[in-house]
Amino acid sequence: MLSISASLLALLSACSTTPPSSRENICHIFEEKRDWFDAASDMRDTWGVPLHVPMAMMYQESSFRHDALPPRDYIFFGMIPWGRVSSAYGYAQAKTMTWEDYKRETGNSFADRDDFDDAIDFMGWFISKSQQINGVSKWDARAQYLNYHEGWGGYQRKTYRKKQWLISVADKVDERSLRYAAQLRGCEEDLSKGWFLRLFT
């Protein structure tokens, strides 16, 4: 009996942290993970950030993996692994210091970077602050991603101009954001229905 219970618990845990099976279509993502849609909608209500922007950024950062880590750092002519290139972790690849700022400012002191609800709320907070600090529209996924990657000060100094690879990535995030937005227009009404109404559709 105990082994069955343990197996069931492990299965449920695996399901809760598995990336969506179809990540190219935001409707498929939210249909598979309804609780993600609820969390993203709460983020929009709190921060006024459209769903498709942080979702496109999260795709780029972690491919929706809860335990995503940055690449390893190496020493001694690149032969010996030595930690990670940054402290980024989780769905949003949030760095430790920025995550602590988020928890302090929002009062969400028990937030975890490997929890989707907390990660999407963190991204809403960051995007909202990028608008406040650098005047970047919450709908501008390209500029928002550059803020996210370089930090608010780096964006002000235009450090991204020396990183053509980063500009190319930001363009891809923007393209995916626009695709997600178009897809969402076709399914958001159904996603917004409660479970009872879905029984009759």
Sign of CA dihedral 48, 41, 130, 137: negative
Lowest-confidence range among 55-64, 78-87, 143-152? 78-87
Tell me the whole-structure pTM to 2 decimals.
0.84
- What pLDDT sits at residue 87? 72
Tokens of 172: 């891809």
- What pLDDT sits at residue 16? 53
Helix (H, G, I), strand (E, B) or coil at 84: strand
Question: pLDDT band at residue 193, thresholds of 50, 70 and 90?
Answer: confident
Residue 114 near residue 91 (C-beta atoms within 8 A): yes
Give residue-wise pLDDT tens across range 118-166: 999 999 999 999 999 999 999 999 999 999 999 999 999 999 999 999 9
A 10 A CB-CB count for 6 gives 10
Burial of residue 4 (number of CB atoms within 10 Å: 0-12, 13-18, 19+): exposed
